[in-house]
Structure formats: structure tokens, C-alpha cells
């Protein structure tokens, strides 16, 4: 049974140190969140899993880390200055502002039981377009005095990959097809952020641009859709809470010919089944749009440069066929934060103990678990037991993330580890001092077994795979 709603994860996150409201001591900053000791580990595990799967376990993907602030022209030629808009409406009654296409995701501030626009009192204006890019200035001048000082915080990591296409191609000596993967922060001045970390103005993306020949693009697109289904499920997200959504022609971004989204059941509490789902990731066929628009190559009939500002032609030369062309791009793009939320929601379970008390267990996969093992002394006032437990912790820590905890009775300590998803607890007791063995407790079954210290590390390594 996954979490019944996002609020359950919000409170678990705050209680246990996964995610905190940002700037909390100053009243917060709408929809900004800080990742605490456990949240940063979980996010790192997601990023490591993605990077390992794409960059290390395959032979055709390189990594990149491009700048958040680029030359403004990147966003002019990518089309973001012109088209990266959301339709915005104001309510004359409550004076709030909403995204027209996401009214179903928010409540009317005056009448919580309906969405904006649904109460007779609501008075929504006509929609107008609002550009989502955050502006900033570069250097000690204001953009009013010098328009060249204007810059943007990147709204996606993808463009950093396109403008480095020739650099990566030339230095890595790659042949098509190949991909370039990047993880990093992106910023969008969202009209209606919300639903915890689902929609924020600052977030982290994991994007790969996979370059291929036009005639292979459709097939490769489908291969990545199938591949990502497997990777998402490997994080512990169940297939029943995932579904594919084919974007309609009207929904497609200006550069895409086909986009398939993976939706996750983020809102299981909603009555209408269709409203329970929202986007976890998108996989787009961006055609050769991006490499073309950033290229200096003369393209039009009268030989005028399509892009008068670029100094590079981002086309590809195939020496076997003697052809020069702009590769197509398949782009799987997924947010770290939305993935983290889905992983936590899917792992959330409740179990009743023999006293009839309900306990939360976060059934994270061993790969995702922020802490793999907790070493707990049964008697913290016995120095030999404490010393032995700390020594075991130091030994295990070399090969897996381990913590030592003696801040409560054993029942409380087990419950705390269950709630944060630690797969195993190792308990050190009086007998350990005599038989060099410890009790190993399994998070999901609560079963306990005695295991000798010289086998402990290998045993845990095997079970944590
Ligand atoms: P949405 O329709 O939900 O606004 P999008 O289709 O604009 O998302 P993309 O541009 O495809 O999103 O970005 C790729 C991924 O980045 C999304 O699938 C999502 O996981 C993540 N993402 C996008 N916007 C946000 C945001 N404001 N907060 C958190 N994650 C985001």
C-alpha cells in the first residue's frame, strides 16, 4: 500500500529529516524546499543510479556539466525567449493568480472544495502568456542600462548539451548514435508551484540527449521508452502506479514531433481516477531542431545565415557515407525531485505490531535507502557493549552507509530505522561479548537472526544487492 497522499510524505519528511520547508525561520518562501540529511542521501542515490545506468553501464553515453548561466543568445535561438510561456489567469475576486492548464491541481483560496473558476463567486480574467525564465544580470551593471547584461537562469539542462555537441563529438571521437547525459539545477518561475516538491521554481533535472540519424529516431525513441520503464521500476516504483501518456499534437512543444510522458499516481486520494496522475518524466523526439537553430550554417535559399550569431556549425559528418547532416535527438528528461517523491510514496507502508500499534515502514530498495545498516547497542550504559557496537559500525562503514544509534530503547530505535527505510539493524548485546555474534533484524519481515561477526559484512553485502 503506497502513501495515501502527498501530505503523509510531507510530514514524514519533516519529522525524520528528508525535506524541510526552505527559509522556514523567516516564514518560508512559497514552494521552496531544503533537503535534509536523509533527503540528500536519497537524492544522491537516485542520481547515482541514473548516472551508473546511462553513463557507466552503456558504451554510448558521455557525461557533461554545463553552466547554469549561459549567453542570453542560447535562449534566444532555442526559442525559450519567444515561447517558454505558461497561460496565466487572475481571479478578480480572490486576487490570486493561476496557471490556466493546471486549475485542476489547486484549490480555490476562498472555497477549498472547488478548483479556481468553479464557484459562482470566482471571476477569472482572460488568459495571458507569462515567460517562465528567471532573469538576472551579469556584472556590475543593470539590464536597464545595458541590455547585454541580461541573462537567464537555465530553465532546462538540455540546451547546455546542444551547444556543446561539437565539443563532445570532437573530444570523444564518437560516432552516431550516442548520448550526452547531464544532471543539474533548472529554474522556472512557475505560476502555480505546489504539491510539495512536485512543482517548485528551483529543481534538479536528469536529462540525456541521444543523437541519432533521422531514420533511426522513431525506433530509438521507443527503445528509450521501454528502457526507462525498467529503470524507473528498478527504483522500487511499482508498475501499477506508472502509466504512459502520449502527448496530443496540441500539447507537443514547438520542437517535438512525438513526446511520451511517464505519469505517476501522485494523487491517489482523488476520486476521479484520471486526476490521480501527473508527469514524472517526458521522453521527446526533438528532431534536428536544436542543433539546427544553434548552427551558423547557411540554410535558406538566398544563402543568408539562419543564425547570424553562432560561430559553429553543429552538423555531423558521416565518413562512411560521405553525408553531412543534423542528427535527430531523443530526449529522456526526468526530475530528481519528482522521482524522489514517487520513490517515497511507493515505498510507504504501514504495519501493525503485536501491541496493536501502527508503524510506518519505508520499504525503499537497498540501493535507494539513505542508510543501509544501523548498529544499535542493547545496553548503552555498558561500556564494553558500546565500544563493540561502535567498532562494528566503523568496520561496516567502509563498505556501506552505516549509523550508530543509542538514543532510545531498542523498540524505538527499530521503529525509527523502519520509518527512514534502513533495510537492516544490527543489535549488539551481552552475549556478543562472549560469542562474537550479533542479532540481524530485517526491516520488512521484522525477523531476527543471529549472525557471527566474521560473516556480517559479506552477509550484508549479499543481501543489499
Ligand atoms: P509540467 O508539464 O509538469 O510543467 P514539463 O513537461 O514542462 O512539466 P519538462 O520540461 O519535460 O517538464 O521537464 C522534464 C522534467 O523535469 C519533468 O518531467 C519533471 O520531472 C521535471 N520538472 C519540470 N518542471 C518542474 C518543476 N517546476 N518542479 C519540479 N520538477 C519539474
Mean pLDDT is lowest, of 91-105, 301-315, 369-383, for 301-315
Residue nearest to atom 10 of ligand 1 (CA): 156
SS3 content of the chain, % helix, strand, coil (to 5): 35, 30, 40
Q: Is the pLDDT of residue 261 over 70?
A: yes
> What Rg, from alpha-carbon coordinates, does the chain have?
26
Angle between helices 37-51 and 336-347 (to 10 degrees): 110
Q: Is the pLDDT of residue 98 over 70?
A: yes
What are 110's three cell numbers?
A: 476562498
Per-residue pLDDT tens over the stretch 68-81 = 999 999 999 999 99
Q: Is the pLDDT of residue 301 over 80?
A: no
For the CA of 207, the closest atom of ligand 1 is 14
Ligand 1: residue of 157, 335, 340, 343 to mutate (most ligand atoms within 8 A of CB) is 335
Residue that the C-alpha cell 525506433 belongs to = 219
Pocket flag, ligand 1, residue 134 (CB < 6 Å): no
Q: Is the pLDDT of residue 1 over 90?
A: no
Residue 30 is predicted with a pLDDT of 84
Residue 106 is predicted with a pLDDT of 84
Nearest to 61 by CA among 214, 178, 215: 178
Q: Is the pLDDT of residue 142 over 90?
A: no
Starting at the edge strand found earlier in the chain, the sheet holding 128-131 runs 97-99, 85-90, 128-131
CA–CA distance, 393 with 403 (Å, rounded to integer): 7
Report the chain's mean pLDDT, rounded to a whole number.
95
For the CA of 205, the closest atom of ligand 1 is 16
CA–CA distance, 172 with 130 (Å, rounded to integer): 40
Mean pLDDT is lowest, of 67-71, 85-89, 314-318, for 85-89
Pocket flag, ligand 1, residue 164 (CB < 6 Å): no
Pocket flag, ligand 1, residue 99 (CB < 6 Å): no
Residue 312 is predicted with a pLDDT of 93
Residue 299 is predicted with a pLDDT of 63
According to DSSP, the residues that pair with 87 across neighbouring strands are: 129
Pocket flag, ligand 1, residue 312 (CB < 6 Å): no
**Ligand 1 centroid vs 203 CA: distance in angstroms?**
9
Pocket flag, ligand 1, residue 337 (CB < 6 Å): yes
Pocket flag, ligand 1, residue 80 (CB < 6 Å): no
Residue nearest to atom 28 of ligand 1 (CA): 199
Q: Residue 115 class from Cβ within 10 Å (0-12 exposed, 13-18 middle, 19+ buried)? A: middle
Return the number of other C-beta atoms located less than 10 Å from residue 254's C-beta: 9
Ligand 1: residue of 263, 279, 334 to mutate (most ligand atoms within 8 A of CB) is 279
Q: Is the pLDDT of residue 176 over 90?
A: yes
Per-residue pLDDT tens over the stretch 411-451 = 999 999 999 999 999 999 999 999 999 999 999 999 999 99
Alpha carbon distances (Å) from 349 to 4, 225, 234, 236, 422: 9, 29, 18, 13, 14
According to DSSP, the residues that pair with 131 across neighbouring strands are: 85
**pLDDT class of 109 with cuts at 50, 70, 90:** very high
Residue nearest to atom 13 of ligand 1 (CA): 333
- Specify the pTM: 0.94
Amino acid at each position: 500500500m503506497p502513501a495515501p497522499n502527498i501530505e503523509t510524505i510531507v510530514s514524514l519528511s519533516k519529522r525524520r529529516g528528508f525535506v524541510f520547508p526552505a527559509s522556514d525561520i523567516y516564514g518560508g518562501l512559497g514552494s521552496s524546499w531544503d533537503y535534509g540529511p536523509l533527503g540528500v542521501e536519497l537524492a544522491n542515490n537516485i542520481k547515482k543510479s541514473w548516472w551508473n545506468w546511462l553513463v557507466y553501464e552503456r558504451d554510448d553515453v558521455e557525461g557533461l556539466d554545463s553552466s547554469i548561466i549561459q549567453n542570453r543568445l542560447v535562449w534566444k535561438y532555442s526559442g525559450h525567449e519567444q515561447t517558454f510561456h505558461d497561460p496565466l489567469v487572475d481571479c478578480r475576486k480572490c486576487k490570486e493568480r493561476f496557471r490556466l492548464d493546471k486549475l485542476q491541481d489547486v484549490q480555490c483560496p476562498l472555497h477549498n472544495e472547488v478548483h479556481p473558476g468553479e464557484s459562482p463567486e470566482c471571476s477569472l480574467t482572460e488568459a495571458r502568456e507569462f515567460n517562465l525564465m528567471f532573469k538576472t544580470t551579469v556584472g556590475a551593471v543593470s539590464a536597464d542600462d545595458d541590455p547585454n547584461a541580461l541573462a537567464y537562469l537555465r530553465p532546462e539542462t538540455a540546451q547546455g548539451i546542444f551547444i556543446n555537441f561539437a565539443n563532445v563529438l570532437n573530444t570523444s571521437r564518437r560516432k552516431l548514435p550516442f548520448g550526452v547525459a547531464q544532471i543539474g539545477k533548472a529554474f522556472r518561475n512557475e505560476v502555480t508551484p505546489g504539491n510539495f516538491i512536485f512543482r517548485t521554481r528551483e529543481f534538479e533535472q536528469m536529462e540525456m540527449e541521444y543523437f541519432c540519424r533521422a531514420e533511426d529516431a522513431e525506433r530509438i525513441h521507443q527503445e528509450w521508452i521501454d528502457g526507462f520503464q525498467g529503470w524507473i521500476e528498478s527504483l522500487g516504483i511499482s508498475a501499477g502506479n506508472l502509466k504512459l501518456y502520449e502527448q496530443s499534437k496540441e500539447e507537443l512543444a514547438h520542437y517535438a514531433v512525438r513526446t511520451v510522458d511517464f505519469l505517476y499516481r501522485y494523487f491517489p486520494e482523488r476520486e476521479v481516477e484520471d486526476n490521480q496522475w501527473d508527469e514524472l518524466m517526458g521522453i521527446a523526439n526533438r528532431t534536428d531542431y536544436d542543433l539546427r537553430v544553434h548552427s551558423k550554417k547557411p540554410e535558406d535559399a538566398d544563402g543568408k545565415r539562419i543564425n547570424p550569431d553562432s560561430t559553429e556549425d553543429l552538423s555531423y559528418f558521416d565518413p562512411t557515407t560521405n553525408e553531412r547532416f543534423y542528427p535527430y535527438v531523443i530526449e529522456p528528461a526526468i526530475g530528481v525531485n519528482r522521482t524522489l517523491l514517487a520513490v517515497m510514496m511507493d515505498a510507504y507502508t504501514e504495519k501493525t505490531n503485536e501491541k496493536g500499534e501502527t508503524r510506518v515502514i519505508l520499504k525503499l530498495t537497498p540501493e535507494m535507502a539513505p542508510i543501509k545498516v544501523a548498529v544499535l547497542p542493547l545496553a548503552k550504559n555498558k561500556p564494553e557493549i558500546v565500544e563493540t557496537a561502535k567498532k562494528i559500525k566503523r568496520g561496516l562503514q567502509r563498505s556501506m552507509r552505516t549509523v550508530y544509534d543509542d538514543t532510545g530503547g531498542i523498540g524505538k530505535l527499530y521503529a525509527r530505522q523502519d520509518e527512514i527505510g534502513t533495510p537492516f539493524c544490527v543489535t549488539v548485546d551481552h552475549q556478543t561479548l562472549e560469542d562474537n555474534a550479533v542479532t540481524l533484524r530485517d526491516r520488512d519481515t521484522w525477523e531476527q537472526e543471529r549472525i557471527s561477526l566474521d560473516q556480517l559484512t559479506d552477509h550484508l553485502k549479499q543481501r543489499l544487492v
